[in-house]
Chain A
């Protein structure tokens, strides 16, 4: 919504015609004002000339009747002049004597002979206002004889025709200028739209690239290569191709990493399975040799059970971890315990002390598969980074809002590229030597809207907070 009130954020295809329209409105307003001012001046001058001629004619003809105070002759003059000055259009004409009574009027029925002249017929000595809303103005002319005033003429002139011309001129200007403004704004929009069309198309392709669908522009839609748009489109296509290849490479690398991880797990499992195997064979041989001795047999059986239980745990944990992407269950405390078997074996192999705290509560809404991959990667990385004899701490807890995972070691600290790989989801530094494990972690963190905190050196402490999914919704694992 806020973009609506920030014109600088409006699309250029709207801004450019709008600027053209505003410029046109400004120019049209200035031109209209000049035209209307000129018209007003011309009309005022024409009005002064016309009414001046009218009053000159009347005053000449009225001179004698006014001296003799002859109402008929004065009226006769006014009446005969009525149709001779068609451009003046007088509505009320009064011949007024010095005692302010009417000698004659163009309309004697309304202004009878001998009555006092109306107040509005008094000479205000000002220029008539041709914009008068009533559409009528008064003009005056003194009648003198030998320097002495013998009377005056007061005429109310209908100026509605003058005002109508002004109105018509105004509306014509408004109409023409409005039409021109719209026309130029439309042309501006068309020109800008046509100019920007390649850019907008490129922008839409880029927007799709942001959604993960980076597709090159088909050859048939490419502008000629010698145009700016053509060059830009081809650069985009080259970039799209490079990014697609890189994505494919990353997927291949991730797959390889998965396979590498699988190998390491397989090795760990083999090691774990191999460890009790010697004891198991010893137990079997003990049963073969001393099977008759109940005490030895019982001891051998106990030994067998313990060894097989260990193997079973390893196998079960492996089954859980590698169950596949179809596992969309929520995380439970048992999932954390299963992980322990896998990590514990790696810790033992590296002669590390593993401190395991599993305080995961009930009602956690975090996908189990994603969390296990995340936790396993971090824990194995911590083990790999720790020198023998040091301690790795694995801590999981939960509250009402999130699950908190903390993995810390006493190694030399997280390298910068590994740190960057973790903190910048989706971006993998080609120079990173830490493998794809942390990059996978960062992808999962992004998918789960998780937050990450890294402390150290000395050592490395990584704390991850994964918020519970909305009830009823299951985040992609």
Chain B
């Protein structure tokens, strides 16, 4: 299946030379594959502006896997998920919600450890200083969501409202997507939105990195723990590559560069994880779907 995949990436002269030499010497397809960069997708689940982090991660994975790794970024979750499901990417760090949605087409590679657990929470935040004591007080708000395919940035709130026999359209006066958890915080802190749905991990980390921005918001609601956004592989990806990627991720705490990356990500490490971690998200999806 992989051989049928069109590769839009430009193949460099060095790659052509390496492929030619390999073919002449051994004539094994695996080695030809070995010269192709591994395409690793990143959703805007995290700090999408951190160029240094992406470069470091790319370098670390390349060295650990033994193949060049190219990180692929897109504006929305859906674009990455679609590329992954369509085998246009080898693996991607996606949200739990698209993983649940496409569980059949995807394979779990690893789950990050945050505060020593592969779990995180969804927050509903409002402007700092706002006098609201419950979710009910947010009725009529202009509400900022992160992404339609984000669990914490959309599904969790949608599910919560379903429990109140409401939908975002009926509960809020107006909603919009910002396509980034940081953007949700910006929208709420600036007053563009009265409240917003945001990834709890992102909010926590940003409070440390950009305290001035995050101090403009206040947590109104915290969800139950849910499976942390996982790294998933396309179903057709070579299991050896999947394992190599998992090993590279899980082995991060044992490598100085890996520890540095984990430090930047404020993560403790990665575990192999189990898809049952995301049953809670599947439950939210189901509830949201049932209501409307």
A contact set with B: CB distance below 8 Å: 70-72, 75-76, 79, 104, 107-110, 112-114
Cβ-based interface call for B190 (8 A): yes
The reply to whether B191 and A71 contact each other, CB–CB distance below 8 Å, is no
Instruction: Determine which of B173, B187, B191 lies in contact with A72 in the assembled complex, contact meaning CB atoms within 8 Å.
Output: B187
Cβ-based interface call for B142 (8 A): yes
Please, could you name 23 A-B residue pairs with CB atoms under 8 Å apart, sorted by A? A71-B142, A72-B144, A72-B192, A72-B193, A75-B187, A75-B190, A75-B192, A76-B183, A76-B186, A79-B186, A104-B192, A107-B190, A107-B191, A108-B190, A108-B191, A108-B192, A109-B127, A109-B191, A110-B191, A113-B174, A114-B142, A114-B173, A114-B174
Within the complex, the shortest CB–CB distance from A170 to chain B, in Å, comes to 38
Q: How many contacts between A and B, using CB within 8 angstroms?
A: 39
Complex CA gap A107/B190 in Å reads 7
The reply to whether B190 and A70 contact each other, CB–CB distance below 8 Å, is no
What are the 7 A-B residue pairs with the smallest beta carbon separation, nearest first?
A109-B191, A108-B192, A108-B191, A72-B178, A75-B192, A72-B176, A108-B190
A110 contacts across to B, CB distance below 8 A? 191
B187 contacts across to A, CB distance below 8 A? 72, 75
Cβ-based interface call for B46 (8 A): no
Cβ-based interface call for B177 (8 A): yes
Within the complex, the shortest CB–CB distance from B251 to chain A, in Å, comes to 38
The reply to whether A112 and B191 contact each other, CB–CB distance below 8 Å, is yes
B contact set with A: CB distance below 8 Å: 127, 142, 144, 173-174, 176-178, 183, 186-187, 190-193
B186 contacts across to A, CB distance below 8 A? 76, 79
B177 contacts across to A, CB distance below 8 A? 72
Within the complex, the shortest CB–CB distance from A87 to chain B, in Å, comes to 23
The reply to whether A112 and B142 contact each other, CB–CB distance below 8 Å, is yes
Best-buried of A70, A75, A104 by chain B (most CB within 10 Å): A75
Smallest CB gap from A109: residue in B:
B191
Chain B contact residues: helix, strand, loop or mixed:
mixed
Complex CA gap A75/B187 in Å reads 8
B178 contacts across to A, CB distance below 8 A? 72, 76
Smallest CB gap from B144: residue in A:
A72
A70 contacts across to B, CB distance below 8 A? 176
B176 contacts across to A, CB distance below 8 A? 70-72
Instruction: Determine which of B127, B183, B192 lies in contact with A113 in the assembled complex, contact meaning CB atoms within 8 Å.
Output: B192
Complex CA gap A104/B190 in Å reads 11
Complex CA gap A273/B151 in Å reads 158
B190 contacts across to A, CB distance below 8 A? 75, 79, 107-109
Complex CA gap A114/B140 in Å reads 13
Best-buried of A71, A72, A113 by chain B (most CB within 10 Å): A72
Given contacts A104-B192, A109-B191, contact A72 B183 (CB under 8 A): yes
Complex CA gap A113/B140 in Å reads 13
Within the complex, the shortest CB–CB distance from A407 to chain B, in Å, comes to 114
Best-buried of B127, B173, B191 by chain A (most CB within 10 Å): B191
Within the complex, the shortest CB–CB distance from A148 to chain B, in Å, comes to 24
A114 contacts across to B, CB distance below 8 A? 142, 173-174
Complex CA gap A33/B142 in Å reads 53
Complex CA gap A50/B183 in Å reads 29
A75 contacts across to B, CB distance below 8 A? 187, 190, 192
Complex CA gap A271/B136 in Å reads 149
The reply to whether A113 and B142 contact each other, CB–CB distance below 8 Å, is yes
Known: A72-B144, A76-B183. 17 other contacts (CB 8 A): A71-B142, A71-B192, A72-B178, A75-B190, A79-B190, A107-B190, A107-B191, A108-B190, A108-B191, A108-B192, A109-B127, A109-B191, A110-B191, A112-B142, A112-B191, A113-B174, A113-B192
Within the complex, the shortest CB–CB distance from A399 to chain B, in Å, comes to 104
Best-buried of B127, B173, B186, B190 by chain A (most CB within 10 Å): B190
Within the complex, the shortest CB–CB distance from B262 to chain A, in Å, comes to 30
Smallest CB gap from A74: residue in B:
B192
Within the complex, the shortest CB–CB distance from B272 to chain A, in Å, comes to 37
Within the complex, the shortest CB–CB distance from B120 to chain A, in Å, comes to 23
Complex CA gap A113/B187 in Å reads 11
Within the complex, the shortest CB–CB distance from B47 to chain A, in Å, comes to 16
Within the complex, the shortest CB–CB distance from B192 to chain A, in Å, comes to 4
Within the complex, the shortest CB–CB distance from A108 to chain B, in Å, comes to 4
A108 contacts across to B, CB distance below 8 A? 190-192
Smallest CB gap from A104: residue in B:
B192
Complex CA gap A113/B178 in Å reads 15
Complex CA gap A114/B127 in Å reads 18
Best-buried of B142, B190, B191, B192 by chain A (most CB within 10 Å): B192
A113 contacts across to B, CB distance below 8 A? 142, 174, 192
A76 contacts across to B, CB distance below 8 A? 178, 183, 186
Within the complex, the shortest CB–CB distance from B139 to chain A, in Å, comes to 16
Complex CA gap A75/B193 in Å reads 11
Complex CA gap A139/B53 in Å reads 41
Within the complex, the shortest CB–CB distance from B214 to chain A, in Å, comes to 16
A71 contacts across to B, CB distance below 8 A? 142, 174, 176, 192
B127 contacts across to A, CB distance below 8 A? 109
Within the complex, the shortest CB–CB distance from B26 to chain A, in Å, comes to 51
Complex CA gap A50/B115 in Å reads 50
Complex CA gap A108/B191 in Å reads 5
Within the complex, the shortest CB–CB distance from B146 to chain A, in Å, comes to 10
Within the complex, the shortest CB–CB distance from A102 to chain B, in Å, comes to 10
Within the complex, the shortest CB–CB distance from A220 to chain B, in Å, comes to 85
Smallest CB gap from B216: residue in A:
A109
A109 contacts across to B, CB distance below 8 A? 127, 190-191
Complex CA gap A130/B244 in Å reads 66
Complex CA gap A310/B142 in Å reads 141
Complex CA gap A475/B183 in Å reads 108
Complex CA gap A107/B191 in Å reads 7
Smallest CB gap from B186: residue in A:
A79
Within the complex, the shortest CB–CB distance from A235 to chain B, in Å, comes to 90
Within the complex, the shortest CB–CB distance from A325 to chain B, in Å, comes to 107
Best-buried of B127, B186, B187 by chain A (most CB within 10 Å): B187
B183 contacts across to A, CB distance below 8 A? 72, 76
Within the complex, the shortest CB–CB distance from A460 to chain B, in Å, comes to 115
Within the complex, the shortest CB–CB distance from A105 to chain B, in Å, comes to 8
Within the complex, the shortest CB–CB distance from B125 to chain A, in Å, comes to 15
Within the complex, the shortest CB–CB distance from A270 to chain B, in Å, comes to 131
Complex CA gap A104/B127 in Å reads 17
Within the complex, the shortest CB–CB distance from A251 to chain B, in Å, comes to 105
A104 contacts across to B, CB distance below 8 A? 192
B173 contacts across to A, CB distance below 8 A? 114
Within the complex, the shortest CB–CB distance from B194 to chain A, in Å, comes to 9
